[in-house]
Chains A and B, each alone.
Chain A
Amino acid sequence: EIVLTQSPATLSLSPGERATLSCRASQSVSSYLAWYQQKPGQAPRLLIYDASNRATGIPARFSGSGSGTDFTLTISSLEPEDFAVYYCQQRSNWPWTFGQGTRLEIK
């Protein structure tokens, strides 16, 4: 089973700042990695798929990069609605797996 390790566990930033979230895989997942956003009381929402493609309706301030074992989600300028928990997920091998999440909180 592929283990995804996200860092940091918590990121404290202010609106307008740049956020950089990391996801590292225990073995190569090629580009088969997605990022999701989850707000309290809501289901997750797909943000980025195949490492760097924005899902439908996702603002351009969200971008993804990486391949192999190291991936990054960048939010270029934080809006108040971006403070949430972010998860990475791989579909390279069964079973698909999620990272443990990064909580992005307001500083």
Chain B
Amino acid sequence: EVQLVQSGAEVKKPGESLKISCKGSGYSFTSYWIGWVRQMPGKGLEWMGIIYPGDSDTRYSPSFQGQVTISADKSISTAYLQWSSLKASDTAMYYCAVVATTYYFDYWGQGTLVTVSS
């Protein structure tokens, strides 16, 4: 069974750094793209970027390029989303999702809520 388990909720202050994680299991981690999706409170889904853990090929939405870094550690089947300096506007739910047999986001993590507040 494919599972994506995300790290727990975070409360941070503006200017702090953060790295959240998404651990995959039940499939070949290096063979499928994993993406990140933002959902701000009460809003829609935003495609942030995606990584192919097999060779670390990474694509970003222009809206998020330079604002976040997506990475993966294939030795522990885990993808990451990180910020070097958080803003209040980064407050959102962040989902990871794997592009599997359909070539779309077949499986989703449970989401990580990030709250940035002074």
Q: How far is the CA of A45 from the CA of B73 in the complex (A)?
A: 26
Whether A95 pairs with B102 at a CB distance below 8 angstroms is: no
Q: How far is the CA of A53 from the CA of B106 in the complex (A)?
A: 13
Q: How far is the CA of A98 from the CA of B46 in the complex (A)?
A: 6
- A34 contacts B by Cβ under 8 Å: yes
Return chain B residues, CB-CB under 8 Å to A87: 44-45
Whether B47 pairs with A43 at a CB distance below 8 angstroms is: no
Whether A44 pairs with B105 at a CB distance below 8 angstroms is: yes
CB distance from B96 to the nearest CB of A (A): 10
Q: Which of A53, A85, A89: most chain B Cβ within 10 A? A: A89
Residue of B nearest to A1 (CB): B62
Whether B46 pairs with A45 at a CB distance below 8 angstroms is: no
CB distance from B26 to the nearest CB of A (A): 14
Whether B102 pairs with A49 at a CB distance below 8 angstroms is: yes
Q: How many residues of B contact A (CB 8 A)?
A: 23
CB distance from A11 to the nearest CB of B (A): 15
Given A43-B108, A43-B109, A101-B45: A95 in contact with B61 (beta carbons within 8 A): yes
Whether B44 pairs with A44 at a CB distance below 8 angstroms is: no
Whether A34 pairs with B104 at a CB distance below 8 angstroms is: yes
- B95 contacts A by Cβ under 8 Å: yes
Residue of B nearest to A98 (CB): B45
Whether B47 pairs with A96 at a CB distance below 8 angstroms is: yes
Given A95-B62, A98-B47: A53 in contact with B95 (beta carbons within 8 A): no
The B23-57 residues at the A interface (CB cut-off 8 A) are: 35, 37, 44-47, 49-50
Q: How far is the CA of A91 from the CA of B97 in the complex (A)?
A: 14
Whether B104 pairs with A49 at a CB distance below 8 angstroms is: yes
Which residue of the partner chain, among A34, A44, A53, A99, contacts B108 with CB atoms under 8 Å? Answer: A44
Return chain A residues, CB-CB under 8 Å to B109: 43
Residues of A within 8 A of B (CB): 1, 34, 36, 38, 43-46, 49-50, 53, 55, 85, 87, 89, 91, 94-101
